[in-house]
Structure formats: structure tokens, C-alpha cells
Structure 1
Amino acid sequence: MGIVLLVVVAFAVIGLIHFYIWKRLVRDTTRPGRVRRAGAVLAVVLGLLVPATLIGTRTGATALAWPGYLWIALMFYLLVVLLLLEIPMLLVRIALRRRATTAETATADLSEAVPAATAAGANAEPLPVKEQPAGTTTTAPQPRDDDPSPTPPGIERRLLLARGAAIFAGLTATGITAYGARTALSAPRLDRVQITLAKLPRSMDGFRIATVSDIHLGPLAGRAHTERVVAAINRTQADLVAVVGDLVDGSVAELGAAAAPLRDIQSKHGAFFVTGNHEYYSGAEEWLAEVERLGIRTLRNQRQLITARGGAIDLAGVNDIAGEGTSTGGPDIAGALRDRDPGIPVVLLAHQPIQVHDAADNKVDLQLSGHTHGGQMVPFNFLVRLEQPVVNGYARFGDTQLYVTNGAGFWGPPVRVGAPPQVTLVELRSP
């Protein structure tokens, strides 16, 4: 029953959004007729495209993926821009209404003055009337049946205002969407961050971890996307590579070939992987086995001692929260850190930033996470902040430090605005 209610609400929201966009872009900018009807039909088609895309991509029908997801992004930014225009548009309409009221008052005052002038002239001598020749009649001009009826000035001004707003919203939303698509489909940028660990041996000062998350192989991101990400990772020449979840959106049968370039990841001390929530929508057990086959070590509530340069760190990894109730199980930070040497610093790989609270309770030195996409499409970052303690970048929770990377891929619309795809090189420093 809950799922049915959710579907009904989702369809209602989609319908209301498309009705609002149609009202502002079509009904308010056109007169009744063929163009308005065509706009209504287009709005209905685009409204149905959204659920068709979301359902189709989950069931393997990907034909609508590109047009559907691009329209979702464009629809979102049309909605945002049009809502932002509501207040200035309201102020302009109020100003026009006051101006029209002032003009009507002036016209009324003039009409009251005319009868008075007429009455004053009634007592004056009548002017002589020129006689017309016999047989001549005077006919007043008659209006033509095909003359268009004049549009009241107020209506014409409102129409022009609505058209101006629609053009501005359309161009702005299209420009933002195009920019976001170009950003999302480009190679991830490399960001560098230095983080000091109090217990890091001096011999390991400068130890580098290439951190990547949310690659999201799927219907719109295939093998070429993986190759771009792997190339970006390898350019870092990192000591260790951490892949912190949400690698795929599909089964091994569908995306195994797209994931194959992951075997080319290069690092001195290996590559490690923990699950994200999307692995549990795509067959987590199969993907854990496939990732291992590609030469990447999976950490399932486990800890691996990394020895380098005469020192050591504990690299721990936990399952995502979405694993609770599945065969892999949910996260168990305490179990992963059981019997550890408290003198060795711990770096925890956990997909969701919200796990930092448990990490702090277990005295983790540094947690590396993803999941948020940095918000992916501004202003979604404000909504993400309601769920996660950090959207992207660095934060501190007591003695536990957290770094959240933007992720290298995208989910849903192939669009990133304000959160470019990213591979982060985390350089560990000793005090």
C-alpha cells in the first residue's frame, strides 16, 4: 500500500510540475488556438516521458534514457528559473495594474468634464448649417466585418511580459543544462587535499590515497566512462586507490564489459572497494565477486594493515547502510576495528558521510566517503545537506576527520552543475 501511495504522489507531483511549466510557457504566452493546443499535447507527452524513463531504465529498456534524463534536467531548471521569476513578475504586474488604474481615473475625469462643456455651449448661438444639394445624402462610415478587434492595452502588455519571461526562462534553463551535460560527460578533474593524522609515522608523511566514488556505470555511462576514470586515477601515481561505492547501476551481465577497464588501475599498495547503496540495487554479491576478479580487494566490514616506508596504517572498509537485511549485512565499524593496535592510525572507507558519527565513536582517524555527488545539480546540494552531515570536502567531528569526494560519475540526468566529476588525491601528513 505504501508503494502504491508513493507512486500516486510521484505521478501527481510530475503532473503538477508539467502543468505549471505549460501554464507559464504556453498558456500565458499564446492566445487560444492551434499553438496552445499543440503546447498542451507536448506537455502531456513530456510528462509521460519522465515515469517512462525512470521505469524503463530500471527494467533494462534504455531507449528513452538520453532524451528522458535530459528532459528531467531541463524540466528541473525550467521549474527553478520560473519560480525565481514569480516575485519580479508579480511586482511588474502590480505596477502595470496601478498604471492602468491611473489611466482609467484620468479618462473618467475627462468624461465628466465633457457634459459640462456641452451644457455650457447649449445656450450659444447655433452655427449656420450648410445646405446640401437636392438628392444628396450623407452616410456615416461603417466598420468592416473583417477588421480585427483591438486588444486592450493591459492585455497586450501582460502578453508581452509573459513572453519575455518565458524566453528568458527557456534560454537560461537550456544553457544551464547544456553546460551541466558537458561537465558531467567530461573527464573527472583531479583535486588534491592534505590531511594531517596525529598518529601517522614520519616515515609515511606524504602517503597518497587516490579516492574515487560514484562512478555509476549504467545506461548512459559505459566502458569509455570507465576508461576516463581509470586514466585519471593512474595519473595520480598514488600509493593506494580507494573506490568508495556506487560503482554500478545494473547487473554484471549488463555492465561487466563496461567495468573491465578497472583491472588497469595502478597503485603501489593496491586498490580497495566498499559497497555503496546502488550495489544493493544491482546484485551486490555478484559485483563483489566481479570486483575481486578485476584485481580490486573488497573490504566487507574488514581491516587491512598497509605497511609502507617503515610505518603502517590500518585501512578499514564497511558495507553500506543499504546492506542491512541482505546476505552481505550492513556496516559494522566496531567489528572491522576489533583487536586493532590503537597506536596505528585508521583510515575508514565508508560510502555515506553520515557514518562518520559511528566512526567518531570508534576513534577512527579519517573517513573517506562519497554518495552525495556534491549535490550534482545546484540547488540539490541544499536538499542533500538535510540528509548528510557534509555535502563535499573536508570536515572534522571531534578527533575524527572526514573527506567527501564529489564522485566521478552521475546518477539519473547526465548533468552536473556546481559539482564537477572528481578524483581526489588525499595526501596524509604527519604532525
Structure 2
Amino acid sequence: MGFALLAAAVLALLVLVHRYVWRRFVGDTTAAGSPLRRAGTVAAYVLPLLSVGALVSGRAGVPFWLQRTLAWPGYLWLAALLYLTLALLVGEAVRPLLRRLLASRDARAPETRATETAAPAVETAAPATDSTPAEPATASAAPASAAPASAAPASALTTEAPPDPAPPAAAGPAASSRRLFVARAVGGAAAVAGLGITGYGTYGVLRGPRVKRVTVPLARLPRSAHGFRIAVVSDIHLGPILGRAHTQRIVDTVNRTQPDLIAVVGDLVDGSVADLGPAAEPLARLRSRHGAFFVTGNHEYYSGAAEWVDHVRELGLRPLENARVEIDGFDLAGVNDIGGESEGQGPDFGRALGDRDRRRAAVLMAHQPVVIDEAVEYGVDLQLSGHTHGGQLWPGNYIAELSNPTVAGLERYGDTQLYVTRGAGAWGPPVRVGAPSDITVVELASRRA
């Protein structure tokens, strides 16, 4: 019941947002029955349908080629819709100011025209007075006083009478013209801003992640492990949009850092091994002195986690399913994602860390930052996580803060430090705004060095 109400609320919100966007971009800027209005109205129906198709096609088990066909336009429209809407909302503040400015300019225009028309009339009246023959004052006084107003010279009427005001009916067309101009100006600026932001955010994802370097001192790390470098990779999200080329970019970037160890901390895929196995093949070329390790993320449990664990093992990565290995100078542990609890495969800190020698430093791979409390309880020195994408699409970072202790970066919780990478890919729209993708090289530092 609760899920149904939430779904209905989200659907209603999407309908209202699309109605608003249609009105500002189409209804306010085009004439009824025009080809542009018809095209805009068709787009207002087709684009949201593509977005819904992109969101549900994977779960519905439709053929992978159809998922890919729906994914690009459907997911990109969701990102574009967000930034077009935000740009239009900013435009709402500009709209009345621009209307008042135009109305003030139009109100000054008749006065300017009247002044320009009246000035020549005064100049022509003066010669007429000078050319009139002089008459005796007594002869002209009585007729002048008795003359009706209609007998006054035409030049005097032209000089003294104000120009006729514009007909009241003209105000309607002028106001309508101003409204159309403002609608088109604000709509055009919003389109440029919204689509420009979306395009730049897409370029950032397709370009590939950048390398970020962080030094983390650990109190129990021996001098022999000082400077040990771990390449942290998370949230690659191979799927209908990000495929083999994306994987190859990540592998090349990781290998260039020449790490001592590679930690892949979940959300590798959004799809089955059958569909995405070829896209994951470049992972077999990851290189480091102590190898590459993997823990599941919540999206693995939407995609057949058991199959993927077996497949990454075939590619040369070592899965840590609630398990621990000893590395030179510290223990490396990994726990399953909490998404596996529904399958009886959730995180088990007791298995991974319960019987270890606490005199040794411990580094934990855990996909979601929310398990930091258990990490503190088991005496972990450093937890490596992902999951948040840093919010991915601003202002999504504020939403991510509601359910995650740390959205991105390094923070301390008691004696345990938590590092959260923004991830190397993107979920849903292949767009990042305000949260660039990264691969982080964490360099461990010994306080005894």
C-alpha cells in the first residue's frame, strides 16, 4: 500500500512537471495549431514514455537491444527535465521584471513621439505672425475679443493642443506582444541553460573518471606499509548505456596509477552476465602488485549477484564475501552489501572481522557508507565505500545527505575513518553535475614513519 501511494505521488509530480514545462516552452511561445506547437505537444507525451520505458525495461526482462534503444533518450530526458525545470523556475523571477521594463519603455514611446511632432509646429507658427500686416489697436481689439475659438489661427491650435492619446484598444495588442516576447526570451534562455548543463554533464561521464589522490594516516599501520597505495573504484554501472569502452577507460586509468592494490567496492553492473559479460571483459587487464578485490553493491543483487561473483573471479578479481585477507602490514576485509539481506547474503562483520588480531590495522571494503557504525564496533581503521555518487545530479547531494553519513570524501567516526568515492560511472542518466566521477588512489601513511 505504501509503495503504491509513493508511486502515485511520483507519477502525479511527473505529470505536473511535464505540464509546466510544456506550457512554458510550447503553450506560451507558439500559436494554436502551428506546426511547432504540434511538435512540442507530441514530444511532451513521447519523452516521458521513453523515460518510463528506460526505467522499467531492465526489471521487466525485455531484450537487451530494446533496453539500449530506450535508455539513451529516456534517461537523458530525465536529466534534461531536471535542469530545464530549474532554469524555468529561475526565469519565473526574471519574467515580471522584464515585463515591467518593456511596459515602461512602451509607455515612454508616445511621449517621445509627441515631443518630436510638436517641435516643428512651433517653428512654423512664428513666421505667420511676423508676416501679418499691423493694424490699429482699437480696430483689432474688439474683433479679437469677440472672435470665437474656432476663428483662431490653425497654427495656434497646433501649438497649444496636446497630441491625441493612443486609442485604449491598442493597449491589448501591445501587452500581448510583450507577453509573447518575454515568454520566448525566458524560454530560450532556459533551454540554452538546461540543455547546456545536461550536455556538459554527459560529456563528463563519457570522458571517463579523473584520478583523485588522498593520504590517510593509520595509527596501527607499520612503517613497512607506509605509502601503500589502494586504487578505489566504485559504481562503474555497466549497463545499456555504459559498456565495454567505459570499462576500458577505467582499466587504463587505474593501471596508469600503478597501485599496490585495487579495491572495486560494488555496483559494477546493471544487468545480467549474459548481457554485460563482454562489457566487463577489460577488467581482466587490471594490474597491481597485490591484485584486485571485489565486494558486492546493491545493484549486483538486482542483476544476479551469485553469477557476477563467479564471473569477476574468472576475470581475475578476488571477491571478498564477508571475508578477510592479510596484506603486508594490514588486514583487508570485505562485507556483502546490505542489499543481499533479502537473499540471506547480507553483511556479516563477525565472519569478516570477528577473530582478527586487533593489533594490526584493518581496511574494510563495504559498498554503502551506512555500515560505518559496525565498522567502528569491530575496530576498523579505514572503511572504503561508494554508493552515493556524490549526489550525481545537483541538488541530489542534499538528498543523499539524508540517508548517508558521508556523501563524498574522508571523515572520521571515532577511531575509524570513512572514505567515500563519488564513483567511476553513473546510474540512470549518464550525466553528472556538481559531482564529477573519480577513481581515488588512497595512500596509507604510518605514523611511525
Which TM-score tier does this pair reach, normalised by the shorter chain? 0.7 to 0.9
C-alpha distance 94-318 of structure 1, shift in aligned 2 (>3 A) = farther
The equivalences for 1:152-231 within 5 A come to 152-231=173-252
Aligned: 1:314 with 2:331: yes
Following TM superposition, by how much is the alpha carbon of 1:209 offset from its aligned partner in structure 2, in angstroms? Answer: 0.5
2:331 aligned partner, one-letter code: D
Structure 1 length-normalised TM: 0.84
Q: 345-354 or 65-74: which moved more?
A: 65-74
1:68-107, aligned counterparts within 5 Å?
A: 68-93=74-99
TM-aligned CA deviation for residue 93 of structure 1: 4.9
Match of 1:18 in 2: 18
Structure 2 counterpart SS, 1:209: strand
Deviation at 1:96, TM superposition (A): 6.9
CA contact (8 A) 2:236 2:425 kept: yes
CA contact (8 A) 2:389 2:426 kept: yes
Could you tell me how far apart the structure 2 residues matched to 1:124 and 1:362 are? 113
**Any stretches of 5+ residues in structure 2 without a counterpart?**
112-145, 152-168
Q: Deviations over 1:264-293 (max 9, x none)?
A: 111111111110000000001111111111
Q: How many Å separate the matches in 1 of 2:352 and 2:379?
A: 12
**Letter of the structure 2 residue corresponding to residue 77 of structure 1:** Y
Equivalent runs, 1:88-127 vs 2, <5 Å: 88-93=94-99, 125=148, 127=150
Q: 1:425 aligns with which of 415, 419, 441?
A: 441
Aligned counterparts of 1:52 and 1:296: Cα–Cα separation in 2: 34
Question: Could you tell me which amino acid in structure 2 is paired with residue 53 of structure 1?
Answer: A
Task: Quote the offset at 1:333 in angstroms.
Answer: 2.1
User: Does the aligned pair in 2 maintain the 1:200–1:429 contact within 8 Å?
Assistant: yes
Alignment equivalent of 2:399, drawn from 348, 371, 383: 383
Change (3 A) 1:201 1:164: same
Q: Which runs of 4+ in 1 moved over 6 A?
A: 94-97
Asked if structure 1 preserves the Cα contact closer than 8 Å seen for 2:99 and 2:178, the reply is: no
Shift of 1:95: 6.9
CA gap of 1:126–1:409, structure 2 versus 1, over 3 A, is: closer
Deviations 1:72-114 (A, max 9, x none): 11111101111222233345557778x59x99xx9xxxxxxxx
SS in 1 for 2:360: coil
Percent sequence identity over matched residues?
54
**Are positions 1:413 and 2:414 aligned together?**
no
Pairing 1:324–2:341 present: yes
Residue equivalent to 1:295: 316
* CA RMSD after TM alignment: 2.4
Normalization by structure 2: what TM-score?
Answer: 0.81
CA distance in 2, matches of 1:322, 1:57: 18
Give, in whole Å, the separation in 2 of the partners of 1:84 and 1:356.
Answer: 39
Offset of 1:352 from its aligned partner? Answer: 0.8
- Counterpart of 1:275 in structure 2: which amino acid? T
Higher normalized helix content (fraction of residues) = 2
Cα distance in 1 for partners of 2:19, 2:188 equals: 18
| C-alpha distance in 2 between matches for 1:87 and 1:355 | 43
Supply the AA of the counterpart residue of 2:354: R
Following superposition, the deviation at residue 21 of structure 1 comes to 0.4
The code of the aligned residue for 2:442 comes to V
2:33 alignment counterpart = 33
Which structure has the larger Rg? 2
Q: Secondary structure at the match of 2:207?
A: coil
* Distance of aligned partners of 1:384 and 1:297 in 2 relative to their CA distance in 1, 3 Å threshold: same
> What residue number does 1:338 align with?
354
Task: Give the deviation of 1:124 after TM superposition.
Answer: 7.3
1:176 CA displacement? 0.8
Greater CA drift, 149-158 or 27-36: 149-158
Q: For residue 391 of structure 1, report the CA deviation from its aligned partner.
A: 1.4
The one-letter amino acid of 1:50's match is S
Paired letter, 2:445:
R
**Could you tell me whether the CA contact under 8 Å between 1:57 and 1:65 is conserved in 2?**
no
What secondary structure, in the 3-state scheme, does the structure 1 residue paired with 2:330 have?
strand
Give CA deviations for 1:356-406 in whole Å, capped at 9, x if unaligned.
122122221000001111111222111111111111111111111011111
> What is the alpha-carbon distance in structure 1 between the residues aligned to residue 274 and residue 149 of structure 2?
103
Stretch of structure 1 that moved more, 208-217 or 256-265 = 256-265
